[in-house]
Amino acid sequence: MLRSLTGIDNGVINTRKVFFILLSLELVLLGIFLFTNYEEVALYAGILFAPVLIFLDPIFGLALMVITTSLDFMGAAESGVEGFRYLNFTLFHLAFLLTLVSTICSILMHQKIRIPSASIWFPLLAFLLLYTISLIRTPDIKEASLYVVRAMFLSMTIFIVIISIDRIWKLSLFVGMLIIVPLVVASITISQFFSEGSLFAPIVIKMANALGLPVFRATGTFTNPNALACFLMAGAALGFSLLFAKEIPSFLRLILLAAVITTVVGLLLSFSRGGWVSTFCAVIFVVVLQKKWSYFGYFAIFVIICLIIISIKTPQMYAVVFERLGSIFDPSQDASSTARIALLKSSVAMWFDHPIFGVGLRGFPVEFANYIDPNMPHILKELKEAHTIQFEILAEMGIVGLTIASWLFFTVLFHGIRTMKTIKNHTLRCLQIGSVALFIGYVINFTFATDLFNNVFWMTMGMIYTLPLIDNKYFSEQSLKELPQPTPG
């Protein structure tokens, strides 16, 4: 019994058991970090055990990368580095660096030198090359250099996911984290909404306060409610897609249903229109591919019931949701929508003056003052971000940049759609549909924001490419087992 608990069986270390012991310890320490006064003790103890956990296998590092992504402002270890506006060293960066080292060690130990063939590499390299060349034209070399470094490291996440997730149990762990962690964050968000921030009151950005909503706008463990919604979308889209899998047992299906319900409620309480629209599109994509329109009906009815229940507790909720939805179709209703249109006009004006290569990476915030639209609401003139990734790329890197970025996005999208038809395992196929739906959701979300360096977005691209590889490996191993074995003599 003791040997089993310690992960040592007949003198051989069982990596999976050791991992689950250490992961359980990390989750306990995370709970202590979030909900007690012993934050520093839990933080340093977690950092102490994390390297041991990660070096067992890179997949454990990927699990911690999902957890540390969810911490956002609470995971910041150092911020405000002089000369850089957006340079914040976080626990995610620590988890990523450890995972990268673990991946390199795994490649050397297992001699995984050959890079898997994938259609993403050429457009991805072209995109990174474009970013690097754009440094020549940038008016802000410090911020632009930081963006290039971030792009290069996050692109490595795709490679890490493809290399590390080569077994069903590893995939289950990674997807489980992408569903469970948003579930936890959504639970915190719901608690914040009804207690008006009593649970470690969030650091809400000035723009969110400027909206003047009559209800508390929860941000969960994030600084920005839009970033919260973007993170919760991952749990909602993947969990919803897995509900269509035939092989999943009933008890697990109930857990998935509970996770989807909780995550969607948390997403509603973020009051993020971009999050609502992108999640809605992801759900529609899953329903269309699965040809189960009744499921979308159930989903819509569930959302309406949630609104009614929450409105009983908070009467203003119903009016706020429909007011926010209405502003999507009538942008003149609030300052935020009017500001987005003004920012788009500024982006187009920049592109007209620099049509081929744009004003240079991170040039939009610098040049914005020269192209500001007179209709820009005075209270939001400090935004200085395009808030639409397509127009930001167009303004900063011109038609060449938009062409290469579109090449990258459509390459990933077409690969995902094409492999949906070839994946043999039904659960993996459902998961691929969910991954592509999530990818589409992120691209749509970037139309309302410019969070191209969203951690989970790059992990999702890696998962779209690794799922067909796992399916091929799974069925090749199964077919080998089913071959008739030679009889003695």
What is the residue-level pLDDT of the chain in tens, covering all 489 positions?
Answer: 334 433 444 444 455 666 667 667 767 777 777 667 776 777 777 766 666 666 677 888 898 899 889 887 555 554 444 444 445 667 788 888 888 888 887 777 766 656 677 789 999 999 999 999 988 888 888 888 888 999 999 999 999 999 889 888 889 989 999 999 999 999 988 888 777 666 655 555 444 444 555 556 778 888 888 888 899 999 999 999 998 888 888 888 888 988 998 998 888 888 788 888 899 899 889 988 888 777 767 777 777 777 666 666 665 555 555 565 555 555 555 666 677 777 788 888 899 888 898 898 888 888 887 888 777 665 555 666 777 888 899 999 999 999 999 999 999 999 999 998 899 999 999 999 999 999 999 999 888 777 788 899 999 999 999 999 999 887 765 544 544 544 554
If you write DSSP's letter for every residue of 373-386 in order, what string do you get? -TTS-GGGTT--S-
Secondary structure (3-state) at 9:
strand
CA angle at 320 for the pair 315 and 323, rounded to the nearest 5°:
140
At 235 the pLDDT is 93
Report which secondary-structure segment, H or E, holds 241.
helix 225-242
At 205 the pLDDT is 45
Buried b (16+ CB within 10 A) or exposed e, 32-51: bbbeeeeeeebbebbeeebe
399 exposure class (CB count in 10 Å sphere: 0-12, 13-18, 19+): middle
At 82 the pLDDT is 43
At 489 the pLDDT is 44
Secondary structure (3-state) at 407:
helix
Which of 229, 160, 98, 259 lies closest to 459, judged by CA? 160
At 10 the pLDDT is 43
Pairing label, strands 12-13, 8-9: antiparallel
